[in-house]
Amino acid sequence: MAKGQNQKLKLLYLLKIFMEETDDSHGLTRQELISKLNAHGVTAERKTLYADFEELRKFGIDIITEHDGNGWTYHIGEREFELAELKLLVDSVQSAKFITERKSQSLIKKLEGLVSRHEAKQLHRQVLISGRIKTMNESIYYNVDKIHAAIGADSCIKFQYFQWNVKKEMVLRHGGAWYDVSPWALVWDNENYYMIGYDTVSQQIRHYRVDKMLRISATEKKREGRHLLKSLDIAAYSRKMFGMFGGEEARVSLDAKDHIAGILIDRFGQDVRMIPKDNGTFTAYVDVTISPQFLGWVFSLGADIRITGPENVVEMMRTESRRLAEQYL
């Protein structure tokens, strides 16, 4: 590439070099900067670089000058995102089941572009430890965008819903019938994305796994169910649903040992009502949707917790206990 042919782009190439090559642990000398600019078809001199640094600083770029031995080095200081923040974002992308492996890699590659190539290696090392289960539905990335757009436009949507069979094939539910739903919110629960909406046919609030929705399109009809959504606490709704499985809602009383308190607070929040007793136990009252998933959650906590009411839920737990015992005879 002939030197000087990209002279008008000098500041842009200089910024690119700083962003890609430097950070708090890696600086470049003036001569190194000149050589890298030359590789991009830009000529530069030591004296003019000082003026270029000042122009970048005026633009808001944090150019740091440091003494290094007998000379000086220059690097980018503060960036839009700190490395620690990007590590959190990378881990969130990688752990999210609703994002496919291919889309995860694409998003992480873009996040790597926000730091130097040296720091990007630290983000890349996090990618290599993933091995987590990811969704197989590549369209979820666009499903989320379509649902957000429909919510913003106050429009209903229609879509088809599917489930996986034993052959790992998509099977449309209800014979491929179209669902007519008013979308009101998106919830990320248990590493999956759910859409909460008003179902026109049942006239009830329902939720749907976004990665199991197909062929989403907005309709000309305005959203319905506003009267129900006004009184719905979305956060409370999510806490009541175990694995977002539906069922009858009830206030359940639980007797538990004191060390279980943290588990209940993690699950139901600090507003959960807990009444201490004198024997190292307490009684808690939680509003939940009764489902096999909720009963299984209580089972998983072992002998340190038990359901004490209402009686119909206690009987459900007894029935489930007998069923499990018979299943494993």
User: pLDDT digits over 245-269, tens only?
Assistant: 567 888 999 999 998 898 888 778 7
pLDDT of residue 202: 87
pLDDT of residue 7: 87
Please report which confidence band the pLDDT of residue 4 belongs to, taking 50, 70 and 90 as the band edges.
Answer: low
pLDDT of residue 101: 78
**Lowest mean per-residue pLDDT among 19-23, 124-128, 156-160, 230-234:** 124-128
How confident is the model over 216-246, as pLDDT tens digits? 999 999 999 998 888 777 777 776 665 555 6
For the chain, the average pLDDT equals: 86
Please report which confidence band the pLDDT of residue 9 belongs to, taking 50, 70 and 90 as the band edges.
Answer: very high
Q: Write out the two tokens for 203.
A: 């006239």
pLDDT of residue 311: 95
How confident is the model over 50-63, as pLDDT tens digits? 999 999 999 999 99
Q: Write out the two tokens for 192.
A: 């999956």
| Dihedral sign computed on CA atoms, order 245, 247, 252, 256 | negative
Choose between 167 and 121: higher pLDDT. 121
- What's the whole-model pTM score? 0.58
Please report which confidence band the pLDDT of residue 145 belongs to, taking 50, 70 and 90 as the band edges.
Answer: confident
pLDDT of residue 130: 47
Task: Report whether pLDDT(167) > 90.
Answer: no
pLDDT of residue 262: 85
